[in-house]
Chain A
Amino acid sequence: MTEDLIKMLELLNENSGWFFDFFVIVVAVGISATLLVHIYRFATGKSDWLGRSLDGGDQSSQMALIQLDTCRKENEELEKKVLLLENDRQELMDLLKEKKNQLEQKKVQLTKFKEEIEMLKNLYEELDQKYDDETYTMSQIMYTAEEVAAAIVDQERFRQNRDDIFMNLLDYLVNTLKNFRYKNPRVIIHVKYPEKNDALVHFAHSSGHSHRVKIYEPPIYGSAAGRAWRTNEVYYVPDVEDPSYEYDLKTHSRKVYRTILCVPIKAGNYEPTRIGVLTITGSPVNAYEDIEIERATLFASLLYPLIYIDLNKRGDKNGTGT
């Protein structure tokens, strides 16, 4: 076959003449043009040195670039969002901190309120106990007034039960004093007899005294009862062992008290009406509160009519105030 082709070409060369030359020129121009186009395309970057087109690569890289650009934008947006979220988080954290502080303050306030409520509750309880004590004292005053009235009305019964009635009346006073077991209060009434100028004389006493209570006569000068008599004022000695108080410190005394309270028995503030002194002793030092001293004063006034009548009947009343 090759031989045939060579023969054909030789035949053409022999017989064609100008045609072959023309053909060669055409082929050379074609090849040159193709080479120029190839160089141009390579130079402009439309193909690589092997002549492979770069158009398809451009599209994918552009796509990649677009995608990259989109991703970058998304990333920027996301970063902005992250920033915003971080700000939000910070604000929320600040708010949380503020709320925590508020909560803490409220807790402190609540604790304070609770304490105040507890304090008010305790104050109410204390007040109620005092109120209870006052109403109870009222009942004792009422019974005392009733029995004084009954004794004045029924003189015969009074004459027969005088000591017992006074003991009972003075027990009402003792009932109004707090902490009976601790204070061990004992009450004595001394009166002034006209014929006895230097001392007061026993008139009545509450339960709990020995029989010797009747013997003791407090001197007008040098005893707590005498002092109350002279000054016509309440005389409170919180500690009988304190020498600054006027008190009759008896030798060989078996006294079991440290406090003594002496209240003049009188009708109002008019001095000539005084008839005696009501004395209360108490075991501990400073045994009585102001309210108890005031109650003793009230009972001294309550008992006044009965003592006054009794002294008048017996002709022993000292109305001169001497």
Chain B
Amino acid sequence: MAQVRKPSFEERKKLNKMYRDGELTREELMEKMKNGLFDHERLKVKQKFLKLIRNRSSDKNRKFK
């Protein structure tokens, strides 16, 4: 939490407007709105998952070389 900066009221208002006007996709809005908030656990798990997938595919490549 200490490293996460919440967007200010004005920034959020601007982001809402940009999203309504189609200047931001939902994914971009989500990323900018959250800016890492509430996301630590999810990202940790995702990192583990991606590492697992990477290791698995590199093992597979090694096996077939």
Contact = CB atoms under 8 A, between A and B. Distances in A.
Contacts, number: 50
B16 A138 contact: no
Interface stretch (A140-148, A216-224, A301-309): A140-148
Given A132-B30, A180-B26, A171 B37 contact: no
B20 A140 contact: no
Contact of A175 (B6, B33, B46, B56): B33
A171 B38 contact: no
Given A132-B42, A135-B42, A143-B12, A124 B37 contact: no
Contacts of A180: 19, 26
Interface residues of A, number: 25
A193 to B, nearest CB: 29
Interface residues of B, number: 22
A169 to B, nearest CB: 10
A143 B33 CA distance: 9
A128 interface: yes
B20 A128 contact: no
A180 B19 CA distance: 9
Label chain A's interface by main secondary structure.
Answer: helix
Interface string A130-170: 01110110111011000100100000000000000000100
A106 interface: no
B64 interface: no
A181 interface: yes
Contacts of B49: 124, 128
Interface of A: 117, 121, 124, 128, 131-133, 135-136, 138-140, 142-143, 147, 150, 168, 171-172, 175, 178, 180-181, 207-208
Interface of B: 6, 9, 12-13, 16, 19-20, 22, 26, 29-30, 33-34, 37-39, 42, 45-46, 49, 53, 56
20 contacts: A124-B49, A128-B42, A128-B49, A131-B42, A135-B34, A135-B37, A135-B42, A138-B37, A139-B37, A140-B33, A142-B6, A142-B37, A143-B33, A147-B9, A171-B16, A175-B19, A178-B26, A207-B16, A207-B20, A208-B20
